[in-house]
Amino acid sequence: MLRQIGILLYPDFQLLDAAGVTATFEIAGKFGGAPYETTPLSRYGGLVRSSSGMAIETIPIATAGSCDTLIVVGGEGHKQAMTCPELQVFLRYQADTARRICSVCTGTFLLAAAGLLDGRRVTTHWQHAEVLKAQFPEIRVSADAIYVHDGPVWTSAGISAGIDMALALVTEDLGADIGRRTAQQMVVFYHRPGGQSQFSALLEMESPQERFAELLGWIRSNLKQRLTVDTLANQIGMSPRNFSRSFRAAVGISPARAVERLRLEAARERVEGSTLPIETIAVMTGFHDPERMRRAFLREFHQPPQAMRRNANTTH
């Protein structure tokens, strides 16, 4: 059975959002006997220019008909696209007729603006999660998920996460063997370990001063050690008092908070992406005491490690 995959584009879309999912279905189709046909769609049809300057030929939504699966991409142009009445009507029609409706990155905003996400659990790029929550408070936003499946609606995080979602869609259609073979062919994870926090924590704390940037990397590689202010100051060749003041000015948070955030990030990756005992993860990441790690998880993520592991197993 040939499955029609519609890829909805708009001016200044993110090229990889479209290319990543298209390549996934192309490769899976070869392994699974060509079951997919992908069609780029847009409001007016014709060439649609991405934010990179490259353009893709599309057909107009008025002639598209019903898709088996519709995927809405993200990109710099999502703010203007989400206010387009014609696109909203098209999305509502597809939500009523398509088997699945999906988004990559900020494409989630278009689905939200069309009223398709009320009461649902969704995700988007971590940088835009708080904006999505504020604009659409009736939506449950899982800011750290790589992708989320809620009924017929699938949403994914930034850019490359569309590939993770597409692999999950392929697995749903054709089985785990085809999904794994597709991932191997693409040289990507079949199930990526961890959530978006693994990509955001170091970036958010990135310092323009090279010595502090190097120190953050050193901390992440030595989480099992006892990382006191004296230890960190000695590592960077500063007095403890001057180090604490300079670190906060450069990084924006205290040394202790930076260490805890990096420990939480590493612990979460292992909780969600492995079957290691919680006690072992606590030791590996420098919490040592699992109860101490549990309290830190509750402060940061509002749920204990065991609950996050269960959620990860049902989400990814």
Domain of residue 252, CATH code:
1.10.10.60
Tell me if 191 is assigned to some domain: no
Handedness of CA 10, 14, 15, 21 (dihedral sign): negative
Residues 158 and 235 in one domain: no
Pair 162, 35 in one domain? yes
Q: How far apart are CA 222 and CA 35, in angstroms?
A: 48
The pLDDT-based confidence of 132 (bands split at 50, 70, 90) is: very high
228 pLDDT more than 60: yes
Please, which pLDDT band fits residue 253 given cuts at 50, 70 and 90?
confident
Which tokens in the block code for residue 240? Answer: 């403890």
| Residue among 251, 244, 243 nearest 206 (CA) | 251
Cβ neighbours around 102 below 10 Å, total = 30
Cite the beta strand spans of the chain per DSSP E.
Answer: 3-8, 36-42, 46-49, 55-60, 69-72, 100-104, 121-122, 140-141, 147-150, 153-156
Q: Does residue 139 carry a pLDDT above 90?
A: yes
Residue 72 has pLDDT above 50, yes or no: yes
Determine the Cα–Cα distance for residues 224 and 284; give it in Å rounded to an integer. Answer: 6
Average pLDDT over every residue of 233-246: 94
Is the pLDDT reported for residue 88 higher than 60? yes
240 within a domain of the structure (yes/no): yes
Between CA 8 and CA 159 the distance in angstroms is: 15
pLDDT of residue 265: 84
Give the mean model confidence (pLDDT) for residues 190-197.
Answer: 60
The pLDDT of residue 158 is 81
Looking at 186, 206, 230, the residue that finishes a domain is 186
The answer to whether residue 192 is domain-embedded is: no
75 domain residue, yes or no: yes
Using alpha carbons, select from 136, 67, 68, 69 the residue that is nearest to residue 106: 136
Q: Is the domain of 220 the same as that of 176?
A: no
**Are 140 and 11 in the same domain?**
yes
Cβ–Cβ < 8 Å for 264, 296: yes
Residues 161 and 27 in one domain: yes
Answer yes or no: do 86 and 123 share one domain: yes
Q: For 8-12, 205-209, 212-216, 287-291, which range has the lowest pLDDT when averaged over its residues?
A: 205-209
Q: What integer pLDDT is reported at residue 252 of this predicted model?
A: 85
Query: Looking at residues 82-91, what average pLDDT do you find?
Result: 97
Residue type, 133: K
pLDDT band of 34, cuts 50, 70, 90: confident
Confidence of residue 316 (pLDDT cuts 50, 70, 90): very low
- What is the signed CA dihedral for 58, 63, 64, 65, rounded to 10 degrees? 180
15 contacts: CB under 8 Å, gap ≥ 6 = 50, 51, 52, 54
Q: Identify the domain containing residue 153 by its residue range.
A: 3-186
| 38 & 143 share domain | yes
Give the residues across from 36 on adjacent strands.
3
- Give the model's pLDDT for residue 199: 54
Q: Are residues 132 and 234 in the same domain?
A: no
Q: How far apart are CA 255 and CA 150, in angstroms?
A: 39
Structure tokens at 189: 């994870």
132 and 11 in a common domain:
yes
Position 110 in a domain: yes
Counting the structural domains of the chain, the total is 2
Residues 205, 61, single domain; the answer is no
Q: How confident is the model at residue 201, as a pLDDT?
A: 57
pLDDT higher than threshold 90 for residue 152: yes
Q: Are residues 182 and 202 in the same domain?
A: no
CA distance linking residue 103 with residue 70, whole number of Å? 8
User: Which pLDDT value is given to residue 180?
Assistant: 87
- Same domain assignment for residues 9 and 48: yes
3-state helix, strand, coil in the chain (%, to 5): 55, 15, 30
In a domain, 251, yes or no: yes
pLDDT for 303 beyond 90: no
Q: Which of 31-35, 51-55, 106-110, 195-199 has the lowest mean pLDDT?
A: 195-199
User: Which pLDDT belongs to residue 208?
Assistant: 57
The average pLDDT across 11-36 equals: 93
Q: What is the pLDDT of residue 256?
A: 94
CATH number at residue 100: 3.40.50.880
